[in-house]
Structure 1
Amino acid sequence: MKISCNMIRDILPLYVEDMASQDTRDLVEEHIASCENCKKQLEEIRTFEEPPVDTDIAPLRNIQNTLRKKKLQTIILSVMVTLVFAVVTIAYLTTPAYISYNENAVSIIEKDDGTVLLNFSEEVSGYNVNQYPAADNSGYVYDITTWETIWHRKISKNNLENTVLNPNGETVASIYYYNTDGSENILIYGDPITDGSVITLPRLVLSYYVMFAIGFLLICGIGLVIFRKNEKIRNRLEKMILLPISYLFAHLLIKDLHSATYLAGRDLYVILLVTIPLYVALLAGRNILKKLSIKKPKSTL
């Protein structure tokens, strides 16, 4: 029985792997004994070596690390944005709404031992006291004001306890209540410290921080223009410029376009609380956008 070369070549792999029956093996051996081409094909199959399997997992690890970094940056961005939203919300709920003077808002209680107490009404959720020596050295002058907040009015209605104005036995010469509408202070205890009117003005310290942030922003912007071709310096400047941007945006969220404040410490503290997570969020967003903006090489026809 004559078998064609094509049939023999089809079963050569089975022959080499010893998976053919004995009759088939006999046919193959009989054929290759007289066919040089099939014999050569058999030798090639026997000498064929499979290419080595690439066991280097470094590329897979790099991909895994890249995906992990992207996931981490996305989580950080989400957490920081949530934190900014939470701080801004709390700041809004606790923003002072100053109360114009009325006898019910605050009253003065003087004890026999000279202790002076401040008694607040239920609507008052906070107060501020400024103390300074009287010009005639007769004691100390106190400027006070009160406010309410949405938090106090809608959520928590904890009443303020009586506050001792002079816990160390200071002599209270005068107590003025100052409004925040630019009107003159109202004397509610003691003798007037001057024949004219007294007005407590807001502090402008936040304006200096805004000016500093704007100046720093301009310097970083100029640096980006000058060093736009230096990737290392440009990357550093891109990170640095996000800091004044974060502060200015935080100031805008907390104080709007105003900088005058009667509670500089409180406002600055809240602005910084917003600035920090906002800066981290902007950094994470910058890194994500930078990776997304990397363009794939265009295919050439």
Structure 2
Amino acid sequence: MTKITCDIVQDVLPLYYDEVCSQDTKKLVEAHLQSCKECQIELKNLSTIVPVQQSETKQNAQDKKMMMSLADSWKGFRKKAFLKGVGITALVALLLYGGYFGLYEWDIKPVKQDNIVITEIAQLADGRIAFHVDYLDDIDIYRVKYELHEDGNFYMIPLRTIIGKSSLPHFVVGEGYQDFNLPSRQIDRDGKIKALYYGSPENAQLIWKEGMELPKASEELKKQLKIN
């Protein structure tokens, strides 16, 4: 069965709730809901919207005739409301997306090294280098820039906006366990990587350099990286 993301599932949940989606879509959504608590909560939230809307509509009813016809027209009303909501949501998303990329291209700066803590550096059996990253100031990292210099130094440079927003999970490069595929990078790059650093060239922390013996990855580290 095709695996779908939470974003796709949450886009079609209203159609699933209203029972107007195809059987294939219904099967995909139900399969996803079995293991995703976040989407289960979204579906539950949909079920709480209906009673509230019904109550508000009854309070605004002008006469008894409108009250009696409400039940018959309710399904069509929900469809129209959903389509209107989709349009508004798409417009807001477009504005947010454009605003984000405006900041992304304009106000990006490297994270100061005193805000970065690198621990648990180790090497996996396939040559990859694993480590744990922690950002002490709890400000989001929007991307990591990669630079290979002529001297063979490779820099992983975490970047953030000058504004320094937090709690934006869709745009965040998360903290935690990471790995660097050194063998693959050696093949893909024009020059040979002789040392790996985390941070900007002016102020970076050494993770590995040519000739350095790193400890083998522990079972706990492999578990964190989801390696069997």
* TM-score, length-scaled by structure 2: 0.32
The structure that has the greater radius of gyration is: 1
The structure richer in strand per residue is 2
Question: TM-score of the superposition, structure 1-length normalised?
Answer: 0.26
